Structure formats: structure tokens, C-alpha cells
Structure 1
Amino acid sequence: MRIGLFLDEPSGEDVFGQLRERIARAADDGFTSAWMSNIFGLDALTALAVAGHQVPGIELGTAVVPTYPRHPAALAQQALTANAALDGRLTLGIGLSHKFVIEEIYGYSFERPARHMKEYLEVLLPLARGEQADFTGETVRANLGLSTPGAGMKVLIAALAPRMLQLAGAMADGTVLWMTGPKTVADHIVPAVTAAAAEAGRPAPRVVCALPVCVTDDPDAARARAEEVFAVYGRLPSYRAMLDREGAEGPGGVAIVGDEDSVLAQIQGLAKAGVTDFVASEFAGRDRTRRLLKTLVH
């Protein structure tokens, strides 16, 4: 199982310098990947291309870029450009976002989101491979090819529900997860996405699992802190469904916390469950947490 880091979005002055330093430290510490979300701050693809261009070796990923606000061909062109700037080290993670965000903020319909994602992939994936996209669907239409460098880029989708997991295995290169606990990963995510890939005759999918991590001697306090920091994810329906499946009251219930031995055992449990990439979101006790995580990559 590869070990990566979730990049906190910088703020204040010289945000790209800050981001570059965080990527460089992750690379120097031996982590195989670094991932950035795309919400209402920096555009993740642009930021990673700018800040990661001068930091060789480490894979950089988006977790995740929302699909609805961008035509798949426009996203493919942008992502391929970023991948070229990063010498082929970009993994494009995409997702539906959430009904409230798409309908109330962007003004698009969130009707039949799995249909939207399937049709989106019908255009995005050929372009990501450097092929022609020729598709007419109910929600997406495209007939074009791109001369953009960077072809061969891998695409993951944020998948939690059964239909999305089927798409992640059968069409995309796997899934990227957030706020999804170990029991749910082992019993729901990995079997579904793996079976979908096998049925489609595709290679074994990547399962990128991102969770909050804190090495501490006071796990109760750390879980309480996680509940505060990540409170919004306990209210969003898709994550709420995964927390309920896990039997967790809130985000603190799936955070990986405890002393070094406990955190190590929890991370190793994810590997046994079939996770291919664990991505740590360091939310407290950062120095001690980083020291432990570095032992997993050396």
C-alpha cells in the first residue's frame, strides 16, 4: 500500500510558494503522492501544475474536481495541460460534488447523477488517453480530439454508492475516497469496485482512501477535534451514508487516532482490506503524526 498526504490549502501571501514547500517536504519525506481538494479556493489543477512543476518524482492528484461546472472536454484539456507540466505525474480525481452545491450554488440539475457521471466519462476518458471523443448522450455531447500533450493520464472517481463504484471499476482507473471507514472499505467499497473491474476485463482498480490522522496519547480529545474540524462532512448526505454504514456518529468516528502502535495497526488494517493508497490528512499533533507516517515510507 502506497502512502500519500493530503495537502492543506494555503492562505495569505505567496500561496504557491507555500504549496510548493508542502509538496517538496512530502517528496523529501518519501511519500509517494500528495493530493489537493478543489472546493471554493484555489483551482487544484492549476495550483498543482504551478507549485508541483519544480518538485520532481512525487505523484500529484486532485481529490476531487467537481464535474458539473465544466464540460468534460474542457476539463480534459486543462488536466492534460497540468499533466504535461508535471511530466505525467498527475492523477485526475473527479466527483459529483453534492446536490446542494450543484443545484443551489451552481444552478445545475442534480437529477440522475450516476447517468451524468457515466456520460461525462464517455467523453473525458478517451480524451485523457489521447483519443477522439465522439459521444451523444442525454446530458453530454462531444465530437472532438485534442492535441494537448499529457495523454495517458489516469482518472479516478469519488465513488460511494453502488452505481458509482461500478463506474469506477468498469470505466475509470478506480476510486478516491473520503470519510469512509475501514469496515465500509472492506465490506462495501473494495468488493464492488474490484468486481466491476474484473467483469469489464480491466486491471485491478486503485482504491485511494483518505482519512484524518492524528498520533496522540489522548484519542478522545483527538476525535473531538476531528468532529469540529470536519463537521460539515457529517451533514452531507453521501458522507453521512458512509458514516452510518460504518456505525460512526460523525467524522471523529472514522478518524485514525491513537498512539503510534494503534495508528500503525489501523493503517495496516486498510491495506489488508484492499486499499492500494492511503492518504493521510494530518489535522492535529502534526509533528508526531508525520514522524510515524515517515516510518511507513522508509
Structure 2
Amino acid sequence: MPRRPEQLTPYAALVHWTRAARLWQGQSLAVESHQGFAHAAGTGFGVPTGLGVSLMPLRHPYEAALQARSLALATGHPVLAGFGPGRPALQRAMRGEPYASPLTAAEEYVTLVRGLLRGRTFDFHGAYYHCEGALPPSPAPEVQVGLGVLRPGMARLAGRVADAAITWLTPASYLRETVIPALREGAGAEGRPVPRVVAMVPMALPLPDHTAEAVAVAGSGPHMRAPHYADMLRRAGIDVGGDDPRENARSLIAGGAFLAGDADRLVEQIRDFWNSGVDEVVINVTGVANIGGPQAAMRQIKTIVTALSGTEETR
């Protein structure tokens, strides 16, 4: 999470000047993501952006649609706005109780946001959300709506209602064998095109004085402890239920959920995601930033992007 908006500028500049397709940011509780991207645009680096994923309990669907369109207007570029229900503890903290059905809540939320962005007028009274009205018309770059996906149920829902499925920490094999078939099933049930698949992939080049396992723990330790991520990883054949974080990280790396190695090795592993049906791979070096600092993270991103730019499959 950036502590000052100017910390985002080098990353926006990298997207602007290289073949990288989009600048992504997860939910930030420091510099809010929409505002950070708008600040970068104000410095001259308006670029396509992705929000993956914003937490539904923090923002009403109308506000979510307004903010996403406002970002597209501020940057002058398309936006992919992803949303997810978050953990039950967050739901309880914001709403007084968790969603009894996260799938129903997500369906209502994405339906409202996507519809508002497409000019629909709602008189909607759902189990979790209420919305009456429409966004005032305004020409803007395209805003697509994504849904955070880990397991088959949410993937089928994304297939029915979203423009994109956004995953995190999901191995290519699990996407190929579980998530994408469920996504196709959901889309087929509605007779609509299969949504795009965006895989946010944690990765790291070798970092002096730190093992790959240490970097994985620094970037993905909390996710390995979260029940919904642990369940997804078990479904993918990766056991992170042990007491030793380094051993869990070793399993994460062996299972292809965290990519580690030299640039050629990372390109090979990223290519596996593309070959599995993924449309967009998001380079995530949070572990490098947490353990080696932002300059080390930027060096690694530049190296990975440069290596990928030499491949025909760059997308």
C-alpha cells in the first residue's frame, strides 16, 4: 500500500513506456487506489488501470460505479474494476454481520455496478443491496467489472454476471482444470461470452541474502493463513496447513502458486498461465517490496517486463 501518491508514479511511468498493459492495485487502506491512480494521471502518466480487488463492504455499488467511471475520466484510459466480498471479519466490522451468502451479495453488487456503468436505471431491492436511480450520462473510456474468484462457485457466478474473473495465488493448473471450466459453465448457462481471466501472480527473482521461501512468506504469509485461500490451495493440491511458514512457502513454490527463479524461468512459468487460458497476468512482487524495499521491487519488475517483451506471447 503506497503511503504517498507519488510512490505510484514510477509504476505508472513503467506501464506508459513499456509493453506492460495495465497498472494494478489491490485494496489500499493508505492512499486509496482510485485517488492514487488519478494522482499519477495528473503527473502526466494516465494509463489503463485495474482494481483487484476492491472490498464490497467498504463502498455502496452506486459509489463504486461512480468512482470507477471517474477514474476512467481522470486517466483517459480503460479501467477494470474488480470487487470481492472480503473476509467475514471485515463484513461483520462494516455491516454488523457477515454475508449469509457471499455469492448472492457478490451477484447483487456486480449486477448493480455493471448495470449502472452501462446506463441502466435501477429500482432494485435485493437481499443485501438497495439501489434506486442511475448514473448521469457521461462519455468515458470503457469500464469493465470483474469479480474476485478463488473457487468454482464464484467462478460460475463470474461467468454469469461479470466482465472478468480476477484470481490471486491460483496456480496455472488449478485455473486450467477448475476455475476456467466453471467460468465457462456459468457463461454458457446465460448464453454470454466467457469473461476474461486475470491472474494476479506473486513472483520473485533471486534476492541477495534472502531465500525464495522467505520472500514468499513476506508477500503471501497472511493469505496462506486465511481459511478461504488455504481451502483453494488444498483444492489445487498445495498443503499450507503446517506450523512452519517456510515449509508452507516451499509447498506454495513447488505447486506453482508463487513463481521463483531467474528471468527465463519466470517467463516459462508465466507462459504456462497464458497457455492455461489466462488473458492477463499481473506481475506482483509484494514479497520483494516487503523484504527488500521498493527499489528492489522496481528493479525486478523491469527485469521481468523486459524478459517478457522478448516473447511473441506478450500480452
Is it true that 1:297 corresponds to 2:289 in the alignment? no
Quote the offset at 1:56 in angstroms: 5.2
User: Is 1:31–1:58's contact at 8 Å kept on the other side of the alignment?
Assistant: no
In 2, Cα distance between equivalents of 1:48 and 1:112: 32
Aligned match of 1:181 in 161, 171, 184? 171
Is it true that 1:103 corresponds to 2:95 in the alignment? no
Is it true that 1:73 corresponds to 2:62 in the alignment? yes
Identical counterparts, % of pairs: 25
Gap change, CA 1:22 and 1:292, over 3 Å in 2: closer
Is it true that 1:281 corresponds to 2:284 in the alignment? yes
Aligned match of 1:58 in 47, 50, 57? 47
What corresponds to 2:38 in structure 1?
A: 49
Quote the offset at 1:78 in angstroms: 1.7
What corresponds to 1:142 in structure 2?
A: 131
TM-score by length of 1: 0.87
Aligned match of 1:265 in 246, 257, 268? 268
Task: Say which SS state the counterpart of residue 166 (structure 2) adopts.
Answer: strand
Structure with more relative contact order (C-alpha pairs < 8 Å, separation 6 or more)? 1
What corresponds to 2:75 in structure 1?
A: 86
What corresponds to 1:255 in structure 2?
A: 258
Provide structure 1 residue ranges, at least 5 long, that are not aligned to the other structure.
1-8
Gap change, CA 1:55 and 1:163, over 3 Å in 2: farther
User: Is 2:72–2:143's contact at 8 Å kept on the other side of the alignment?
Assistant: yes
User: Is 1:62–1:91's contact at 8 Å kept on the other side of the alignment?
Assistant: yes
Letter in 2 for 1:161: R
Provide structure 2 residue ranges, at least 5 long, that are not aligned to the other structure.
241-247, 289-295, 311-315
Gap change, CA 1:105 and 1:68, over 3 Å in 2: closer
In 2, Cα distance between equivalents of 1:17 and 1:68: 27
Is it true that 1:198 corresponds to 2:201 in the alignment? no
Gap change, CA 1:175 and 1:29, over 3 Å in 2: same
Please list every run of at least 4 consecutive aligned residues from structure 1 whose deviation after the TM superposition is greater than 6 angstroms. Answer: none
In 1, Cα distance between equivalents of 2:34 and 2:47: 15
User: Is 2:205–2:261's contact at 8 Å kept on the other side of the alignment?
Assistant: yes
Task: Say which SS state the counterpart of residue 203 (structure 2) adopts.
Answer: strand
Quote the offset at 1:37 in angstroms: 1.1
In 2, Cα distance between equivalents of 1:54 and 1:201: 43
Quote the offset at 1:57 in angstroms: 6.5
Aligned length: 287
TM-score by length of 2: 0.83
In 2, Cα distance between equivalents of 1:275 and 1:228: 26
RMSD (Å) for aligned C-alpha atoms: 2.4
What corresponds to 2:291 in structure 1?
A: none
Gap change, CA 1:72 and 1:293, over 3 Å in 2: same
What corresponds to 2:217 in structure 1?
A: 227
Q: Which is richer in helix?
A: 2
